[in-house]
Chain A
């Protein structure tokens, strides 16, 4: 649908308004892969909201940059020569050629490989390749240098996480994150973290929202989809994923905190002093009981502390960040980072990396089975687009269950006892619907 096809757009908005009904636990399947919904998402969601792009340790020096994606657009995330982190559309103002054709690197300026238009590390237009004498002849009326500044997104960081948005005004990153930041601290704020190597990427034939929603809200699938764990005696039973809390921190974010009942924290004693410097008492108490944590920052930024397992004689976990990068209504490029405490003991670094890769990378024993589900759901949705009636999906688990009283858990948000619930998925779709209908209300 073209953005100028107003009648079609009005019909689409009406259909979303009428059928996306998280309040009753009903989501129509067409929203999974409808190309018109996807186009609306690129414009009103990915074009406006805060998007995660990387971790500060990936661009350590003035001039360091990485190339990332916002919506479907390539962007440069770079540290200027003044050390400030900025985000630019990876496109020359002359003819739109990509300025950075590599994944990462270091540079003092951007020179377009097509005609040589050149930009400083702050995005300022420096000149044409041919230099000032040529410019005088070619542009006798002068070049408006300000209009040639690279297109720049608004960029902010939280605890080393780099985000950007194309919205010139609107909420700050802190406002966008809201109460989920308390939980993000447990994974990226507990110590000085650094990215291990580079992010791993692979392409899955799924709509981007299916995995995002899974990490936000779906602990229940572990009992079936990942039941190999109990088959092999690695967890106490198929319902191992239930112990803990299902949390709706607002803003469309969602998470689950899994807890254990042992006396000792599973995290290494060597790091506890650093944790104590960085976390408050409630966060420390939560970390001491934590055995896993999965969640999603709206719309497509996932975080995970995988379930601790014993590997090579020691109990370890990893720290995963992930972006579900849309690449069409039924294709997603997965970006997966693994982080570790910079000052961690070597055994924790080595075994944590192994544990993460074996459970949650492209070869991860969990991820493998998840991709099978998301692909099949995507195909079902594609085929169902032409059904004469709506195909409603069931999102009602936990509907009517009240959250725990605040005194029961130290963290913010609506906290539900036990991780098996779909409350956070319902909130996700409420916020998603509000974003998509923004212009229609």
Chain B
């Protein structure tokens, strides 16, 4: 039996989590940021460390400085900014599509919490020539239960590039 099948979550929860992530992708692709922000816990830590090229076995993830280093209040500010009429980088908006796959669920260290990993591919096309960027990586989330819903208490985003190939991260991961 795999680790996840061994009892981290039952099948119903697994389906619930899949739906959770599909809905999250939908909210982001449809630019419904206010609803998206409701998926996060107030104590949220939202980070994206930097990848580097090193001789193995040295780790290739450096946590000191990141592409994101956010809290719920700063994500809220980012969303408010995007709602102004002067958020030039995303207005007119990029055409985005987020594909979320490879769901892996484990019990987190704190009882009642889940450690959830998913892979993502964000397709982002801007401008009039059909050009697009791909941002690919892994989300490492910690989820906690509040009432009948899940909240993301922690998200660490591992991007699979040591030098980002998109001109800015004006989109959420």
Q: What is the minimal beta-carbon distance from A320 to any residue of chain B, in angstroms? A: 11
In whole angstroms, what is the CA distance A104 to B68 when docked? 22
Expressed in whole angstroms, the Cα–Cα distance for A35 and B88 within the complex equals: 29
Chain A positions within 8 Å of B62 at CB level: 197-198
Residues of A within 8 A of B6 (CB): none
A199 to B52 alpha-carbon distance, docked (Å): 10
Q: Which of B55, B67, B77 contacts A200 (CB 8 A)?
A: B67
A225-B88 contact given A200-B50, A311-B74, A367-B168, CB 8 Å threshold: yes
Contact of A357 among B55, B69, B80 (CB under 8 A): B69
| Chain A nearest Cβ from B117, distance in angstroms | 21
Q: Evaluate contact between B63 and A357: CB separation under 8 angstroms.
A: no
Q: How far is the CB of A199 from chain B (nearest CB, A)?
A: 8
B146 → A minimal CB distance (Å) = 23
Q: How far is the CA of A365 from the CA of B74 in the complex (A)?
A: 11
Enumerate chain B residues within 8 angstroms of A205, measured Cβ to Cβ: 167
| Contact of B86 with A102 in the complex, beta carbons under 8 Å | no
B10-18, B21-29, B157-165 - interface stretch = B157-165
- Check A354 against B70 for contact (C-beta < 8 Å): yes
Best-surrounded residue of A227, A361, A362 (most CB of chain B within 10 A)? A362
Residue A371 at the chain B interface, CB threshold 8 Å: yes
Taking CB atoms and an 8 Å cut-off, the chain A residues in 223-256 that contact chain B are 224-225, 227-228, 231-232
A357 B68 Cβ-Cβ under 8 A: yes
Query: Bound state CA distance, A100 and B168, in angstroms?
Result: 29
B119 lies within 8 A of chain A by Cβ: no
Interface string of A363-384 (1 = CB under 8 A from B): 1110111011101000000000
Given A228-B87, A368-B168, A102 and B70 touching (CB < 8 A)? no
Q: How far is the CA of A196 from the CA of B69 in the complex (A)?
A: 13
Determine whether B170 belongs to the interface, using a CB cutoff of 8 Å to chain A. Answer: yes
Asked if B81 contacts A365 (CB within 8 A), the reply is yes
Shortest 8 CB-CB contacts between residues of A and residues of B? A197-B64, A197-B65, A202-B164, A363-B169, A368-B89, A201-B163, A357-B69, A368-B170
Q: Which residues of B contact A (CB under 8 A)?
A: 48, 50, 52-55, 58, 62-71, 73-74, 77-78, 80-81, 84-90, 162-170
